[in-house]
Amino acid sequence: MGLRILGDRVMIKVDEAAETEGGILLPETAQEKPQRGTIVAVGEGTRTEDGELIPCDLEEGDVVIFAKYGGTDITDEGEEYKILETSQIYAKVV
């Protein structure tokens, strides 16, 4: 991967839901925007006014729930990802 995530941001591979819980396949235009994904890259964290680095409490491989319309969609090497600030992540799935 040729990207380095900066600051308090994370890069997520979004889980695509191709069918409903009942097994019905939906066309892409009718699907609800997914809100769950797996973190593939993490920035170094945020800096305080004193310059002290506060590392992110998320790591690669974590499955998270994030803001429905948040972040920026990107494509890298044919794969689609979303870059979000950590404040747009609501929960870590445990």
**3-class DSSP state for residue 43?**
coil
Q: Which of left, alpha, beta for 74 (phi over 0: left; psi -120 to 50: alpha)? A: beta
Domain ranges of the chain: 9-17+29-93
**What's the pTM?**
0.77
Q: Which residues are CB-neighbours of 4 under 8 A, at least 6 positions away? A: 41
**3-class DSSP state for residue 88?**
helix
Q: Are 84 and 10 in contact (CB under 8 A)?
A: yes
Q: CATH number of the domain at 9-17+29-93, out of 2.30.33.40, 3.90.1150.10, 3.40.50.620, 3.40.50.1950?
A: 2.30.33.40
Closest CA to 56 of 3, 9, 5: 9
Determine the Cα–Cα distance for residues 57 and 8; give it in Å rounded to an integer.
10
pLDDT, tens only, 1-45: 578 899 999 999 988 755 455 666 656 555 556 689 999 999 999
pLDDT, tens only, 52-89: 999 999 999 999 999 888 899 998 888 889 999 999 99
